[in-house]
Structure 1
Amino acid sequence: MIKIEYRTQRLSLRFFLLMLVLFLFQMLFGLIIATQHVDPTLLAGIANFNILRAEHTNLGILWILSGFIGTILFIGPLLSKRELAAPWLIQILFYALIIVTVWNVATQSLAADGVAGWWAGQPWLQEGLEYLEAGRAADVVIFIGFAILAWVVLRTFPPRREWNEIHWGLAIGVTALTFVWLFGVFFIDRLDLQEYFRWYVVHYWVEGVWEVIHISLVGFLLVLMFKADVKSVGYAVFWGVALVWLSGLIGNAHHYFWIGTPAFWQFWGSLFSALEPLPLVFCFWHIYLDAHQDNKPLANAPAFYFILGSVVLEQVGAGILGFTMTFALTNVWSHGTWVTPSHAHLAMFGTFGMLGIASAYYAVPLLRGVKSFDQRLGRVAFWLVLTGMLGIAFAFAIGGTIQVFLYRSMGLNWFGGEVFPAMQFYKVLIPIFGLVFAVGTGLLVYDLLTLGLRQPSAVVPEPRLHAAPRAGWGSALKGSEASLWLMGMWIFGAIITMGLLSFNLDAVSKGDPTIPYVLAGIGYPGLLLITLLFVWRFLASLQARPQPAAAPEASPAMAQVAS
């Protein structure tokens, strides 16, 4: 029987299960608002689009945080070689997360009744700031929860002289998670200054601090799964964290272009934002090296599938599509249009959501004492959510291109409903791909919630203890080939960037859509298709290796880390 070496690791299970439940509800809210795009009268006056959109966004943050916390609590004792400090505080943290979730859902609709915002005298209930709608009361509870997490992690870690780069990455991450949140708690009556600090939370707390935690967790999970060298992974974590902080702090200024801040931010924001993909390339390249170290077998396929999905969609959604919109001359057209959620969905779910799911697929079997499990359901779920999310991103991107052209050629200065009929086909595609994503979500939630509780499948694929070298699609993936795939992604990203830049041309403003439509029609489908093919190629090369009979046990990995 697989055993957990540290009893307090079991505290992570409740966070993984909460993550799955919240993920399911967030997906359901997304399906509803996608359908409301097609039929705006759906649930009008009962559950309006703006409220459901806020619920969808906030639940996305909460379930991802729950996955992060679960992962940190699971690996904390392994990094520290001792039990978690103050387990009673962790239990408080769990209930605080539930309270914040319920409070957030219950108070979102207050804004529709005018009970929101500082001007209405109700900031404790609902602040009225986009993406930070939760009231001051919830903000304080969240701050206390993050402080608990940081204190537990730092007290659990060994003395600082024994820290490696992964210790430092997580320590910086959980500390910044707590203190950067404070920028979203206080209120400033000057709108431009308020927006300045709000983006510190919306951008830097998510895209900076979360990224530091993401890089550290990915690194350690690779150590556990492939017994990768801790020092080598630590080297990658060090440079990843350094590049995130060095590029991201000033790169945050790409949010300052249109909020009344000085014009010099347009240059500096464009420049440093363009550097932000560098740590993402670094993270992507290291996962290739770790997964191919000594050609070790892929023992837990669903866990690695979602890790790879996290890193690749981070590269595509946060890196490439973020890059295309980061310059002032492209951001002026993409800002506030459907082009933006194409980037946001791939970046948010891909980078952070898939990591939490990957961690759950690694940890839940160990926590429930499952020696081996049928991994086919997890693999199918991965392909459904990956394909569904890429399809959603495609519909947003092409629909957004039409939207931008109509705004540009018609001289509209307000994003109203006048152009919606032209986008109708792509508005229908979103719930269609959303259903594909929903089926995958339902499968993985069912698989993880019932893993170890249901009867095991009678049909488990036989392990391939010896496999002859394969040619073609299932052959070993060499570094040179991986580089070509990555280069191809960025070439399509450059085409998309040129398409957004073309909206500045006089011919486009006079009603000629040829250049932006052709470039978008090549760039977006090409990028998303090459992403799907590359993930398929990467995983096919790993699946061709000899496979063990069971998922990896905890003890050998822990022993390797301890060494």
Structure 2
Amino acid sequence: MPEYRSQMLALPFAVVALVLFFVQLVAGGLLALYYLNPDLLSGIANFNLIRAYHINALILWLFSATFAAVFYLTPILAKRELWGQSLVKLLAVVLVLVVIGIFATLPLMQSGTNIWIANQPMLVEGKEYVEAGRLWDIFIFIGFIIVAVVVLKTLPSPKEWPLALWALVIGAAGTFILYIPGNLFFKSVVVSEYFRWWTVHYWVEGSLEVAYAGAIGLVLMLLIPDPRVKKVVDKYIFYDVILAATSGVIGQGHHYFWIGTPTFWILLGGVISVLEIVPLALMALESLRIAKELKQPFPNIPSLYFMVGILIFGFIGVSLLGLIQTWPWTNWWEHGTWVTPSHGHECMMAFAMGGIALLYLALPDLTGKPIDRTLVLWSKRAFWLMFIGQVILASTFGLAGTVQIYHYWILAEPWQKVLEARFPFVPGIVFGGAMVFLGYLHLAASMFRHLLMPVEGEEYKPAAVKKSFLTTFDHFPFLVVLAVFFALIGTTGLWSFSSSAVLEFGNLWIPFALSAIAYVGLGVLAVIMASKLARGIEYGHYIE
């Protein structure tokens, strides 16, 4: 059992997170099936409603997982029980009410039904990504305030906080503050969109990134008992905050051009918006190198694998796939196509795997049960199914989006023709999504088994393995450079749509071939890099 009884209050939030993750994946599966059969849910739920469920479930389950991690970690950092435990219980109730309220009222978007008070939409707002109505926003604000009060009252004086904790607190505060602009109501669509992106973009590339950097930094410090790790975390947390406050803010520009603001925004936003993930990647990489040097068994293998997931998807999905689509001369073409969800899905999976890593970190302690062989094997299977499935999903989206550019932007064909051109790629998206869902089932089974059933299995110890390319860090810097090279190939591929070879002579093989090389290459490299990092640490102490 945990050292502090109040850490058990994290459990309800972890359960809610797992349930909402399930809802998100089911909604995502329905979206994919919608493309196979547009009449699948005719008269019941349109595409935009299912998409709203998919996105809102993601946002809410990440909040739930983060709350669980915060209430688990705070007593450890403060060395005492949580303050205001009744407030935490109230927050669990508020969270469930918000989830039920949002999901129950989202269908009102299809009929336009709403309740307006003081010119504010109370049940559903309808703005993309922030569809929740003002009533649910109020509950969300209450929830954020409860978290802030409980954490600040529990923690010692800020003078004693490590830098990673400062990042976590600042990021959490920023998430609360930046929720406000996206919920302001304006009659002007341009002004409304301008401020909506303050929430949508600055959450991901600002406050949430800083908060997750702090959380992962704290986890690394807890799991790797070496003073060098704290120095590494402090160094890169500093860089992460600086970049989030500069490149993360200016990077907003790759959204702004499309709502009628000046052209220079697309240049500023496209060039530097991919930089802010670099400190987090380097922090995790250097810390994991220290763990390998210690030649000691890593204490929590499930958490390790999903921490590697946030690192690789952060580098490949957030930075490199972001580079392909936000470079100014490619953003002209990719906007409004499936190239965007290629980046978006890996970006969100990076945060998702961070949340899962935190849940696995807390699970053995909260249940009072050891990390046994079954938990490790199921969690590793969950990781690889979700990881490879997401790679297939993102790569297929990117390839389909490249074909879509030609039919949508250059030929300006009717939408039905665009759908027909994109259709051959839909089975790949369904297959990748099915793998992710199967991985979730392994994830949920491993966690609920640990929560609800007795665990009497033997303690997990990696088998002795021989040194190989996939169990060492050898040549990892070369793989990083190669990944950047593939990203530049993909960028060139989209850029080539502006060339006379494509526009005048119809040499479509140029963008299609370059994009295929880029997406397949990045996908293969992502799997190899994840294997080298995770397996290198897991088996490092046992290599013969």
Instruction: Report how far residue 46 of structure 1 moved.
Output: 1.1
> Is 1:301 aligned to 2:297, yes or no?
no
Inter-partner Cα distance in structure 1 for 2:293 and 2:73: 22
Letter in 2 for 1:364: L
2:285 aligns with 285
Quick one: structure 1 residues 187 and 509, their matched pair in 2 at CA, closer, same or farther if it must change by over 3 Å? Answer: same
Q: Which residue of 2 aligns with 1:250?
A: 250
Q: Partner residue of 2:385?
A: 384
Matched AA of 2:212: H
Q: What residue number does 1:539 align with?
A: 534
Q: Which moved more, 1:4-13 or 1:377-386?
A: 4-13
The Cα shift of 1:59 comes to: 0.3
Amino acid at match of 1:432: F
Following TM superposition, by how much is the alpha carbon of 1:276 offset from its aligned partner in structure 2, in angstroms? 3.3
Paired position in structure 2 for 1:477: 473
Q: Which amino acid aligns with 2:224?
A: F
In 1, the alpha carbon distance for the partners of 2:518 and 2:462 equals 40
Deviation at 1:117, TM superposition (A): 9.6
User: How many angstroms apart in 1 are the aligned matches of 2:84 and 2:307?
Assistant: 30
1:46 alignment counterpart: 44
Q: Report if aligned partners of 1:408, 1:509 keep a CA contact under 8 Å in 2.
A: no
Structure 2 counterpart of 1:339: 339
Pair 1:458–1:216, CA change in 2 (3 A): closer
Partner residue of 2:507? Answer: 512
Q: 1:417 to 1:119 in 2, by over 3 A?
A: farther
**Matches of residues 430-445 of structure 1 in structure 2 within 5 Å?**
430-445=429-444
Aligned 1:232-251 pairs, distance under 5 A? 232-251=232-251
Alignment partners' CA distance in 1, 2:263 and 2:470: 52
- Greater Cα shift, 402-411 or 22-31: 402-411
Q: Determine if contact 1:389/1:434 at 8 Å carries over to the other structure.
A: yes
Partner of residue 59, structure 2 = 61
Partner of 1:489: 483
Match of 1:113 in 2: 111
CA deviation vs aligned residue, 1:20-78 (integer Å, no higher than 9, x gap):
11111111111111111111111111122211111001101110111111111111112
- Cα distance in 2, alignment partners of residues 197 and 37 from structure 1: 31
State the secondary structure of the residue aligned to 1:133.
Answer: strand
Give 1:22's aligned amino acid: L
Distance change (3 Å), C-alpha of 1:395 and 1:118: farther
**In structure 1, how many angstroms separate the alpha carbons of the residues matched to 2:418 and 2:123?**
35
1:342–1:203 CA distance, 2 compared to 1 (3 A): same
Change in 2 beyond 3 A, CA 1:130/1:313: same
RMSD of aligned alpha carbons? 2.2
- Tell me if the contact between 1:85 and 1:155 (Cα under 8 Å) persists in the aligned partners: yes
Query: Partner of 1:127: helix, strand, or coil?
Result: strand
Structure 2 residue 524 is matched with structure 1 residue 523: no
Give the counterpart letter for 2:422 in structure 1: M
Contact kept, 8 Å, 2:183 with 2:196, in 1: the verdict is no
Change (3 A) 1:87 1:288: same
Q: Distance in 1 between matches of 2:225 and 2:457?
A: 30
Q: 2:125 aligns with which of 124, 127, 130?
A: 127
State the shift of 1:462 in Å.
5.2
How far 1:122 moved relative to its partner? 6.5
Counterpart code for 2:533: F
Q: Find the counterpart in structure 2 of residue 453 from structure 1.
A: 452
Identity %: 36
Q: Which moves more between the two structures, 143-152 or 197-206?
A: 143-152
C-alpha distance in 2, partners of 1:5/1:198? 42
Query: Are 2:320 and 1:326 equivalent residues in the alignment?
Result: no
1:177 maps to which of 170, 175, 197: 175
In 1, Cα distance between the equivalents of 2:458 and 2:39? 47
Residue 167 of structure 1 and its aligned partner are, at CA, apart by: 2.0
Report if aligned partners of 2:270, 2:323 keep a CA contact under 8 Å in 1.
no
Give the whole-Å Cα distance in 1 for the aligned partners of 2:99 and 2:290. Answer: 37
CA distance in 2, matches of 1:328, 1:211: 23
1:189 maps to amino acid: K
Q: 1:161 deviation in Å?
A: 1.6
Counterpart amino acid of 2:269?
A: G
Who is 1:399 aligned against? 400
Letter in 2 for 1:249: V
Which of structures 1 and 2 has the larger relative contact order (alpha carbons within 8 angstroms, sep 6+)? 1
In structure 2, the residue corresponding to 1:443 is in which secondary structure? helix
Give the Cα separation in 1 of the matches to 2:271 and 2:117.
Answer: 37
| Alpha-carbon distance between aligned partners in 1 of 2:372 and 2:267, rounded to the nearest angstrom | 53
Q: Is the 8 A contact 1:226 1:296 kept in 2?
A: no
Distance 1:66 1:452, change over 3 A: closer
What are the residue-to-residue correspondences of 1:201-212 with 2, within 5 Å?
201-212=199-210
Output the CA distance in 1 between the equivalents of 2:115 and 2:522. 41
**Partner Cα distance (1:488, 1:195) in 2:** 37
Partners of 1:115 and 1:122 within 8 A in 2: no
**AA at the equivalent of 2:168:** L
Equivalent pair of 1:316/1:489 in contact (CA under 8 Å): yes
Tell me the equivalent position of 1:555: none
Give the aligned residue type for 1:295. Answer: K
Identify which range, 428-437 or 60-69, moves more after superposition. Answer: 428-437
- Match of 2:225, as an amino acid? K
Alignment check: 8 A CA contact 2:278 2:315 kept: no
Q: Give yes or no for the alignment of 1:84 onto 2:70.
A: no
Over 3 Å counting, the alpha-carbon distance change for 1:51 and 1:539 in structure 2 is: same
CA distance change for structure 1 residues 339 and 249 in 2, over 3 Å: closer, same or farther? same
1:184-227 Cα offsets, whole Å, 9 max, x none, are: 22212222121111000000022211101110111111112222
- CA change 1:117–1:278 in 2 (3 A) is farther
For residue 258 of structure 1, give the secondary structure of its aligned residue in structure 2. helix
- Contact residue 372 and residue 460 of structure 2 kept, 8 A: no
- Aligned CA distance change for structure 1 residues 488 and 280 (closer, same or farther; 3 Å): farther
**Which residue does 1:361 correspond to in 2?**
360
Counterpart residue identity of residue 471, structure 1: K
In the alignment, structure 1 segments of 5+ residues that lack a partner are: 548-563
Q: Which position in structure 2 is the counterpart of 1:558?
A: none
CA distance in 1, matches of 2:277, 2:58: 23
Q: Distance in 2 between matches of 1:338 and 1:361?
A: 33
For the residue of structure 1 that corresponds to 2:131, the secondary structure is strand
TM superposition shift of 1:284? 4.6
- 1:442 offset after TM fit, Å? 0.7
The aligned residue for residue 275 of structure 2 is: 275
In the alignment, structure 1 residue 259 sits paired with structure 2 residue 259: yes
Q: Which amino acid aligns with 1:491?
A: F
Change (3 A) 1:214 1:117: farther
Of stretches 208-217 and 142-151 in structure 1, the one that deviates more from structure 2 is 142-151
Change (3 A) 1:378 1:74: same
Deviation at residue 228 of structure 1 after TM alignment: 3.8
- Matching of residue 408 in structure 1 with residue 404 in structure 2: no
Shift of 1:408: 3.2
Q: Which residue of 2 aligns with 1:371?
A: 370
Q: What secondary structure, in the 3-state scheme, does the structure 1 residue paired with 2:3 have? A: coil
